[in-house]
Structure 1
């Protein structure tokens, strides 16, 4: 996602940049031998052996940041983000004005869902004028962290900056569309999901997300076209079955809607929004106890969008004490 291939190339590049200084000739030979052997292991995918050789090199020269970059490139490939953080922190201790180290550490914090630290380090890398090769993904990474902390306006600003530098990355447009869904800019969401689709025609997620945007715009015919395309691309896509069920509710085919929402739950029982759709069907059928049971399930699992409750279908219970008690808990 964040140019991991380039990060691996960094490791190869750093090999040429590693220079041993201020030591005896015998130690220099040992150091260079460890680096050479470690690089050979790295090239052949023997990562544990490569790390062992690089550790030996660090024992001889503990302040050469190139070796820490080599170790970081391996840990990135292994998705071992804690060790990327350890190694990039060491680089920053040696050279506090190293934007690439802040960028790599920020990316690792992001993967560990430590969003505040990710925001801080992405900001450091941006303020230090990180290379233009990394600047768009630094903005998008910070935007992702802002999105995770529900700071939607700052997330929008960062993704717009990323897009201004690289308008060929479909994920930037996809995430912009998602943010607009969150702030109820449904027309803008359609626009950005459409751009993402133009860049990635096989993205079932983008078709499904655009279908949801059309649902919220009450354009059910366009929503149906998109959700069917999403399922054509991925017949096991649970969220697409949820949207399909929602569309069928609006088109009046309750039996088909119930079948599809149950299919969604069969594929993924850990999405609270699915139970809201099931509860909506209960409401239509006047099965109130089942309706509230499914709302409770949705709340316990976690609700992603509360927009469903704006539907006129909920008017019949909107002012009831039991529903109001449930609804207030979503905000407090």
Structure 2
């Protein structure tokens, strides 16, 4: 009986270590850009732990990188079912709608993410972008302001707030674009040269 207990203990350790190794390998493949391999190892990990929230979310992101958007969305929705407070899953699900030019539903998902963490500059920026694209300029401006207040180095928020100010003939647009340029946002220098010189 003693030997059976020891054998069982080592078997559990071996399975746990192997499972952890597969998740680590999956993350390594994801970080190196080999998304097919990443999916393969996330699948292996999920065979052992089918409700592992992080693995499902990361697999969804890998599917997204591979352009397999339906599979990605399925994973994001699984994550939301497992943990309705997973901000990343709402942001990723919102990006799906944004990519499809369904800005109303994108804003709906981004707002859920923002409400989970009102200090998130990223969530505020994405919400502002969705409002901006759907023509809700006052709401867009409000959330660009929030994004910048939450992170004074958010170049994307500066750039798009500046563009919106220029479009609305409001002062300060070029200052915002200059800030985005100073922070190093790609395309900000071109936009500044086109509209602010």
Shorter-chain TM band: 0.7 to 0.9
- Find the partner of 1:102 among 22, 26, 33: 22
Kept in 1, the 8 Å contact 2:79–2:86? The answer is no
Distance apart, 1:232 and its partner CA: 1.1
- Find the partner of 1:251 among 168, 184, 193: 168
Corresponding position of 1:115 = 35
* 1:261 paired to 2:177: yes
Supply the distance in 2 between the matched residues of 1:167 and 1:257 (Cα, whole angstroms).
Answer: 38
Distance apart, 1:268 and its partner CA: 1.6
Supply the distance in 2 between the matched residues of 1:247 and 1:162 (Cα, whole angstroms).
Answer: 34
| Equivalence map 1:37-186=2 (5 Å) | 65=14, 69=17, 91=18, 99-126=19-46, 128-130=47-49, 132=51, 134=52, 136-186=53-103
Query: What secondary structure is seen at the aligned counterpart in 2 of 1:143?
Result: helix
Write out per-residue CA displacement over residues 239-298 of structure 1, whole angstroms, 9 at most, x where no aligned residue.
110121121122123x622221121011024x24x356446637xx9xxxxxxxxxxxxx
Corresponding position of 2:195 = 281
Max radius of gyration: which structure?
1
Supply the distance in 2 between the matched residues of 1:266 and 1:171 (Cα, whole angstroms).
Answer: 28
Supply the distance in 1 between the matched residues of 2:167 and 2:69 (Cα, whole angstroms).
Answer: 29
Supply the distance in 2 between the matched residues of 1:279 and 1:175 (Cα, whole angstroms).
Answer: 33
- Note the residue ranges of structure 1 that are not aligned, 5 or more in a row: 1-16, 20-63, 70-90, 92-98, 286-332
TM-score by length of 1: 0.51
Kept in 1, the 8 Å contact 2:29–2:37? The answer is yes
Kept in 2, the 8 Å contact 1:208–1:243? The answer is no
Give the number of aligned pairs: 188
Kept in 2, the 8 Å contact 1:152–1:183? The answer is no
In structure 2, the CA distance between the partners of 1:184 and 1:275, relative to structure 1 (3 Å rule), is farther
- Note the residue ranges of structure 2 that are not aligned, 5 or more in a row: 1-8
Supply the distance in 1 between the matched residues of 2:78 and 2:174 (Cα, whole angstroms).
Answer: 43
Query: What secondary structure is seen at the aligned counterpart in 1 of 2:101?
Result: coil
Write out per-residue CA displacement over residues 73-100 of structure 1, whole angstroms, 9 at most, x where no aligned residue.
xxxxxxxxxxxxxxxxxx4xxxxxxx44
Supply the distance in 1 between the matched residues of 2:195 and 2:107 (Cα, whole angstroms).
Answer: 27
Query: What secondary structure is seen at the aligned counterpart in 2 of 1:168?
Result: coil
**Higher-RCO chain (CA-CA 8 Å, sequence separation at least 6):** 2
Distance apart, 1:190 and its partner CA: 0.5
TM-score by length of 2: 0.83
In structure 2, the CA distance between the partners of 1:240 and 1:130, relative to structure 1 (3 Å rule), is same
Distance apart, 1:18 and its partner CA: 5.2
